[in-house]
Homo-oligomer: A and B are copies of this chain.
Amino acid sequence: MRILVANVNTTVSMTEAIASSARSVASPGTEIVGITPRFGADSCEGNFESYLAAIAVMDAVLAYPEPYDAVIQAGYGEHGREGLQELLEVPVVDITEAAASTAMYLGHRFSVVTTLDRTVPLIEDRLKLAGLDQRCASVRASGLGVLELESDPQRAVEAIVEQSTRAVSDDHAEVICLGCGGMAELEEQVRAATGVPIVDGVRAAVTIAEGLVRMGLSTSKVRTYAPPREKRITGWPFRI
């Protein structure tokens, strides 16, 4: 099967890192295709950028010319998953939700450790809307921007380990979700330092998407995610 893994920002190296992480757990026979938006921010760290990414991901997925079996939206705490579900017949998996639903199989409570403090409320809101917030002990910020994860991985590990350790000791988390599409590389080090299971949303999403495809399941079309009605749409898709 072929799974599209859509980065939410325009940074191609991050798309590659995400796709590589996805491939590390994909089954034999699963092709992972990384998708980079044509427009938007080079990192998503707030609502404006996230809304832009929501549309940019839809744009990029719709423009993909080959058939595919599932789509992963690989932005942590980002808007847009519901739109993709309307537009597509194949299942759509958001990594924020994939990490949370996976973590809930591993411990009584989980925490998310993300990048900047300002993105904490976005993640909290996505978990709340998804109904996956009740066993979330906390969402903590490492204080590092998205692109700093790539540029300074050692500092990233330290900051994430520090917040993860506090989540375990102070918030009673038993599992840590890495709250950014580009954090998968750090998983092993954070696990070693904290002693708790570390969930990378991209990897979790791949296993869930594969499972849905294998079970022949896709988005229900009877109500919320019915295809858009026929109507006049101006200016879409965008000329960039």
Give the Cβ gap from A160 to chain B, nearest Cβ, in Å.
17
Alpha-carbon distance A80/B217, docked complex (angstroms): 28
Alpha-carbon distance A204/B91, docked complex (angstroms): 14
Give the Cβ gap from A212 to chain B, nearest Cβ, in Å.
6
Does A47 count as interface, using CB distance less than 8 angstroms? yes
Give the Cβ gap from A144 to chain B, nearest Cβ, in Å.
13
Among residues of B, the one whose C-beta sits closest to the C-beta of A10 is B234
Report B-chain residues with C-beta under 8 Å of the C-beta of A203: 215
Please state if A217 and B239 are interface contacts (CB–CB under 8 Å): no
Please state if A234 and B38 are interface contacts (CB–CB under 8 Å): yes
Please state if A51 and B54 are interface contacts (CB–CB under 8 Å): yes
Docked complex: A121-143 residues within 8 A CB-CB of B: 121-122, 125, 128-135
Candidate in A118, A130, A203 with the most chain B CB atoms within 10 angstroms: A118
Candidate in A47, A83, A226 with the most chain B CB atoms within 10 angstroms: A47
Report B-chain residues with C-beta under 8 Å of the C-beta of A236: 39-40, 52
Please state if B55 and A51 are interface contacts (CB–CB under 8 Å): yes
Please state if A131 and B107 are interface contacts (CB–CB under 8 Å): no
* A86-B46, A105-B97 known; A211-B217 Cβ under 8 A: no
Please state if B172 and A223 are interface contacts (CB–CB under 8 Å): yes
22 CB contacts below 8 A, A to B, read: A25-B214, A27-B27, A39-B238, A40-B234, A42-B232, A42-B234, A46-B229, A48-B58, A51-B55, A51-B79, A104-B131, A105-B208, A106-B218, A107-B222, A108-B223, A128-B129, A172-B223, A196-B220, A197-B219, A206-B211, A207-B207, A207-B215
